[in-house]
C-alpha cells in the first residue's frame, strides 16, 4: 500500500525523518505511521491508550533504526531493519511533559515517563534531534529550554538555555551533535551567530560554553554592513549538520562545523523544509512541507533542481 499525497496532507502531521523513514502522526486514528517514500512501504503503531488526547496530548515523535549502532549496518526496509519510536507530549494543563518508547522487536511501549515543565509548555513543534543515545526537543511555550530523553536510562531531563545568548527563540536556534559527542546549540540573531557546547567544567558542573561567535552577514555573504530584517530556521539535515535558513526573502544552507553557506533560492512563501536522506539514492532530497502536513513530499521540481549542487557542496566533490 502506498500512502497518497492527498491522504498524507489531509490527516497526518509530519514529525521528521531519519534513517530513510518518514514519521507521521495520525491524530484521527490515534496512531503513528512510519513511511518509506522510496518503496511506499509503511508500518502503523498505535499510540498507548492512556494517552487520551485531552489530559495527555502527543505533540511529536522520532523514529530510529534499532540497528543503527551496529558496525557496517546499512539502513534498509522494514523487513530487515527493526525500528524504535519515541514520542513526547504535554499533560496536566501544560505543566507536565511526558515521553515513552516503542520497539518493533517486542511490539510494546514503555511506561510513560513524566517531568515537570520549566514553564507553561504548549507543544513540541520541531523534529527531535539525536545526539549520542539521547533525543532532544525544544518545548514551545512561555520560556526557552531543551528537553532531553535519555533512551538508555529511559529518563527525562530539562536543560536550561545558555546564559546571555544572542537569542532566546527556538525558531532561530538549532540543536546539533558537536565534535567530541557533546550537545551543541546554534543561536541566531539578526546580526550574529553563536555556537554553544554543553561541557563539564573544572568544578565538575555541566554548563554551556560559548565556542564561537560570527557576524551573520559575513557567514551568509550578505555584504558588508547588511543586516537582515527577517530570519528564521526552516529545517535541519541531521546527518550532515546543515541548517536551512530564510533571511529576508532568500533561503540558505549553512554547514555548522565549517560555517560555509550557500544561497539556494528566493521565496515569498514561508514553510518548513524537511531534508530526507534516501537509503536508495545517493543524494539528499529537500522536500517542502507545511508545519502541519506534507505539501508535496518528494515531488517539488524546484527543490529537486538543486540536488546535484547540494550533494557536491556537502561532499566537496
Where are the domains positioned within the chain?
5-228
Alpha helices in the chain (DSSP H): 5-11, 216-219, 301-304, 307-315
Q: What angle is formed at CA 146 by the lines to CA 53 and CA 162, rounded to 5 degrees?
A: 155
The pTM is what? Answer: 0.82
In this predicted structure, the answer to whether residue 156 has a pLDDT above a threshold of 90 is yes
User: Residues 189-222: pLDDT tens digits?
Assistant: 888 899 999 998 777 788 999 999 999 888 888 8
Give the pLDDT mean for 266-279: 67
Give the pLDDT mean for 146-164: 95
CATH topology of domain 5-228: Neuraminidase (2.120.10)
In this predicted structure, the answer to whether residue 296 has a pLDDT above a threshold of 80 is no
Mean pLDDT of the chain, nearest integer: 78
Distance of CA 194 to the CA centre of its chain: 19
Contact indicator for 5, 21 with CB cutoff of 8 Å: no
In this predicted structure, the answer to whether residue 286 has a pLDDT above a threshold of 80 is no
Give the pLDDT mean for 89-94: 91
Return the C-alpha cell found at 80: 530487515
In this predicted structure, the answer to whether residue 89 has a pLDDT above a threshold of 90 is yes
In this predicted structure, the answer to whether residue 37 has a pLDDT above a threshold of 80 is no
Q: What angle is formed at CA 26 by the lines to CA 7 and CA 32, rounded to 5 degrees?
A: 115
Confidence band, pLDDT 50/70/90 cuts, at residue 305? very low
Confidence band, pLDDT 50/70/90 cuts, at residue 225? low
| Least confident segment among 89-93, 269-273, 300-304 | 300-304
Distance separating alpha carbons of residues 273 and 232, to the nearest angstrom: 12
Distance separating alpha carbons of residues 267 and 49, to the nearest angstrom: 42
Give the pLDDT mean for 247-271: 83
Give the pLDDT mean for 249-272: 83
Helix (H, G, I), strand (E, B) or coil at 297: coil
Amino acid at each position: 500500500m502506498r500512502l497518497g499525497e492527498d491522504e498524507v496532507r489531509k490527516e497526518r502531521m509530519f514529525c521528521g525523518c531519519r534513517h530513510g523513514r518518514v514519521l507521521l502522526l495520525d491524530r484521527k486514528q490515534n496512531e503513528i505511521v512510519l513511511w518509506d517514500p522510496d518503496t511506499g512501504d509503511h508500518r502503523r503503531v498505535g499510540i498507548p491508550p492512556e494517552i487520551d488526547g485531552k489530559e495527555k496530548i502527543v505533540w511529536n515523535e522520532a523514529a530510529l533504526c534499532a540497528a543503527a549502532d551496529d558496525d557496517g549496518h546499512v539502513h534498509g526496509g522494514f523487513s530487515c531493519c527493526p525500528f524504535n519510536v519515541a514520542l513526547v507530549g504535554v499533560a496536566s494543563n501544560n505543566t507536565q511533559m511526558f515521553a515513552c518508547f516503542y520497539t518493533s522487536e517486542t511490539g510494546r511501549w514503555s511506561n510513560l515517563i513524566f517531568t515537570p515543565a520549566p514553564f507553561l509548555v504548549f507543544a513540541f513543534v520541531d523534529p527531535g534531534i539525536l545526539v549520542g543515545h539521547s533525543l532532544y526537543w525544544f518545548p514551545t511555550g512561555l520560556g526557552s529550554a531543551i528537553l532531553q530523553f535519555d533512551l538508555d536510562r529511559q529518563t527525562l531531563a530539562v536543560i536550561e538555555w545558555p546564559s546571555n545568548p544572542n537569542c532566546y527563540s527556538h525558531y532561530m536556534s538549532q540543536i546539533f551533535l558537536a565534535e567530541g559527542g557533546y550537545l551543541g546549540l546554534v543561536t541566531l540573531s539578526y546580526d550574529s551567530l553563536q555556537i554553544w557546547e554543553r561541557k563539564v567544567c573544572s568544578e565538575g558542573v555541566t554548563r554551556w560554553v560559548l565556542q564561537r561567535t560570527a557576524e551573520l552577514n559575513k557567514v551568509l555573504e550578505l555584504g558588508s554592513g547588511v543586516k537582515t530584517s527577517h530570519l528564521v530556521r526552516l529545517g535541519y539535515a541531521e546527518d550532515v549538520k546543515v541548517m536551512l535558513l530564510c533571511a529576508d526573502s532568500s533561503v540558505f544552507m549553512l554547514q555548522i562545523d565549517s560555517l560555509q553557506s550557500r544561497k539556494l533560492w528566493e521565496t515569498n512563501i514561508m514553510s518548513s523544509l524537511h531534508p530526507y536522506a534516501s537509503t536508495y539514492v545517493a543524494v539528499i532530497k529537500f522536500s517542502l512541507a507545511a508545519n502541519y502536513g506534507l505539501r508535496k513530499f518528494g515531488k517539488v521540481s524546484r527543490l529537486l533542481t538543486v540536488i546535484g549542487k547540494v550533494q557536491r557542496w556537502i561532499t566537496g566533490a
